[in-house]
């Protein structure tokens, strides 16, 4: 895919959950388009991911459930780089179990990471964006936000909540220059997803998607770049499904 290497020149982009998987692909995509990227993750593997991207990028170990740590990270990143223009709320977890046996603790964990975590990071980053009158926030939801998937009760609920949060923030912040959107991918071929969707289960799932395949991490990153770019200034409160058409049938 041909990209514009200066599209995000001068922009500072923060990505949560950037140590690997889709978050790493997001960081690589924005870096390749000229942005300076702040990679954050609860895992210190994020340091190596950032080093591989190049010296202008920064890494912070940050747990999206730790409000004080988030505020400290945002303050430190803003004072080092001047501002944060784009936030990609990507950190997330998914633990599968039948609804009747999923523990309350696992339920709470999904809400804490996938929903409240995104809220806390957006709330920490937004004041600077609102003050400067410019910002882009992209929340990574899932096709599970708009359909039921067996074994995904807490995951579906947390991602559906993320869409509600996206719409409210979009209403409140767009008048002051900050758009807020979501992306809802189908299964994305990260190392972890490939383990869960291996063999015949994966073949059946691919066959049910009109494009007959899962998504690649770079395709989710490309959608995030679109929503964060100048061409998407009128896209606000949207949930962009990147699911090969799975949810239209």
Residues forming contacts to ligand NAD in the complex (CB under 6 A) are 16-17, 19-23, 41-43, 63-65, 90-94, 113, 117, 140, 142, 185, 187-188, 190, 192-193
**Nearest residue (CB) to ligand NAD, 23 versus 135:** 23
Q: Which of 60, 134, 155, 246 is catalytic?
A: 155
**Nearest residue (CB) to ligand NAD, 43 versus 52:** 43
Annotation marks residue 60 as catalytic: no
For 148, list phi and psi in degrees, rounded to 5.
-85, 140
**Nearest residue (CB) to ligand NAD, 7 versus 67:** 67
Locate the DSSP E strands across the chain: 12-15, 36-41, 58-61, 86-89, 135-140, 178-185, 239-242
Closest contact distance (angstroms) between CB of 6 and ligand NAD is 27
Cα separation, 130 vs 241, in Å, equals 27
Closest contact distance (angstroms) between CB of 27 and ligand NAD is 11
Angle at 162 between CA 208 and CA 80, to 5 degrees: 115
Cα separation, 224 vs 86, in Å, equals 10
233: tokens are 């200034």
Closest contact distance (angstroms) between CB of 242 and ligand NAD is 9
Active site residues: 155
């Amino acid at each position: 895919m041909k990209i514009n290497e200066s599209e995000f020149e001068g922009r500072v982009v923060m990505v949560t959950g950037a140590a690997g998987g889709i978050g790493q692909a997001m960081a690589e995509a924005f870096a390749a388009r000229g942005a300076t990227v702040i990679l954050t993750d609860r895992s210190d593997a994020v340091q190596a991911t950032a080093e591989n991207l190049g010296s202008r990028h920064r890494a912070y170990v940050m747990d999206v459930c730790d409000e004080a740590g988030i505020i400290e990270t945002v303050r430190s990143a803003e004072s080092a780089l001047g501002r944060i223009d784009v936030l990609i709320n990507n950190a997330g977890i998914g633990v599968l179990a039948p609804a009747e046996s999923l523990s309350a603790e696992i339920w709470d964990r999904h809400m804490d990471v996938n929903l409240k975590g995104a809220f806390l990071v957006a709330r920490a980053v937004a004041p600077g964006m609102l003050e400067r009158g410019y910002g882009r926030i992209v929340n990574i939801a899932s096709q599970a936000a708009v359909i039921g998937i067996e074994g995904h009760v807490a995951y579906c609920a947390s991602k559906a909540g993320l869409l509600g949060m996206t719409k409210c923030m979009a209403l409140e912040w767009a008048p002051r220059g900050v758009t807020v959107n979501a992306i809802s991918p189908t299964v994305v071929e990260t190392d972890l997803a490939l383990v869960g969707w291996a063999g015949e289960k994966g073949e059946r799932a691919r066959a049910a998607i009109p494009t007959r395949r899962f998504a690649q991490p770079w395709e989710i990153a490309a959608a995030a770049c679109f929503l964060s770019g100048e061409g998407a200034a009128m896209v606000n409160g949207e949930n962009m499904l990147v699911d090969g058409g799975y949810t239209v049938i």
